[in-house]
Amino acid sequence: MKDRILPGHGSGGRLMNEMIESVIREILGKDTVQPDDAAVLDIPGGKIAFTTDTFTVSPLVFTGGTIGSLAVNGTVNDLAVMGARPRFLSCALVLEEGLEISLLKEILRSMKEAADYAGVAIVTGDTKVVEKGKGDRIFINTAGIGVFEGEPLRAEIELGDAVLINGFIGDHGMSIMALRNGLSFTGGLSSDCAPLNGLIAEVIARFPRGVKFMRDPTRGGVASVLNEIVQGKAYGVELMEDGIPVRNEVRGACEMLGIDPLYSANEGKVLMVVKNEDAGAVVETMKSIKEGADAAVIGRITGEYPGTAFLRTAIGGRRILPLLTEEQLPRIC
């Protein structure tokens, strides 16, 4: 473990995982801090999912969303991928002296619109102001509560299970980086920022025993999530390069910036591990919903290379997808 915080400690990669395990959970309690998208808690009458997230994205307003809609959708999705129905959110604002009230209103309106679309209520919050130069205009923390109508979706993954995604990868990360770097050829590229609770609820309703595991591949992208799934397991995961949906604009931006789209952040995508026999039907179900129109099977759980995520390339080769150490895309969410 490093003796100073580095950008990579917020990357979703190796440094962040090391800090969570050897510092945060070590001190706060490995028996209470659950290393998942949300904690599953027993209360009288059933179970709830409880999550929290903090957003520092720059720029604050981007094509496809704002830091406000990102906060709502990100928290909703963390609850939904556990199999819970998102219900209530909190909103805490850290505001820098000098922030324009007009911009604050724009961000709050986008939060309200996103919450209404997702069917959740923002019910409590907090506000702090720091002196000019002590923040970066606005940071947002949201916490969320969801209720389980069945069991949490964390079933045993088995050899042969299929890996699915609900559409094009890398849109959010590359739309933010394109704005920062003035990449004019990416005109029209938009963040995929969206709530996935409606899509997920429909899939669960139709395939209650077919879905084994879900996670939203935000920081660190698809490759980082797959590494977390197979770490220390007796199986690996093989992705098929030809099957992964990537927009030409995203591919071009990634090539220019030296970034693999498999590590680019997403804010409207869900990775699912499902029974192989249900994979085709689950994809068709997702395609019938706006947020899943470009869904695809992108890989399989395999006995080859246990504990490893790897890519079968278009020419038949294999490439290991390691868990990254450094931060590729700072301040992306």
Residue 207 falls inside a structural domain? yes
> CB under 8 Å to 94, separation ≥6 — which residues?
128, 129, 130, 135, 138, 139, 140, 141
- 185 has a pLDDT exceeding 70: no
The total of structural domains in the chain comes to: 2
Say if residue 79's pLDDT is above 80: yes
Last residue of a domain, one of 117, 147, 177: 147
| Residue 57 pLDDT > 70 | yes
| Two structure tokens written together for 72 | 């709502």
Same domain for 167 and 308? yes
pLDDT for 50? 98
Quick check: is 27 in a domain? no
Query: How far is it, in rounded angstroms, from Cα 69 to Cα 287?
Result: 24
Confidence tier at 331 by pLDDT (50, 70, 90):
confident
Residues 218 and 273 in one domain: yes
**Distance, CA of 294 to CA of 282 (rounded, Å):** 12
The parent domain of residue 311 ranges over 162-320
Residues 281 and 199 occupy one common structural domain = yes
- Summarised one tens digit per residue, pLDDT across range 223-280 is 999 999 999 999 999 999 999 999 999 998 899 888 999 999 999 999 999 999 999 9
* Residues 287 and 264 occupy one common structural domain: yes
CATH of the domain at 106: 3.30.1330.10
- Same domain, yes or no: 95 and 174: no
- Same structural domain, 167 and 316: yes
Is residue 119 situated within a structural domain? Answer: yes
167 and 141 co-located in one domain? no
Assess whether 211 and 301 both reside in one domain: yes
CATH number at residue 313: 3.90.650.10
In a shared domain, residues 63 and 193: no
- Specify whether the CB–CB gap between 219 and 158 falls below 8 A: no
In angstroms, rounded to a whole number, what is the distance separating the alpha carbons of residues 332 and 179? 11
134 and 279 belong to one structural domain: no
Same domain for 205 and 315, yes or no, is yes
Task: Report yes or no on 31 lying in a domain.
Answer: no
> Do 128 and 204 sit in the same domain of this protein?
no
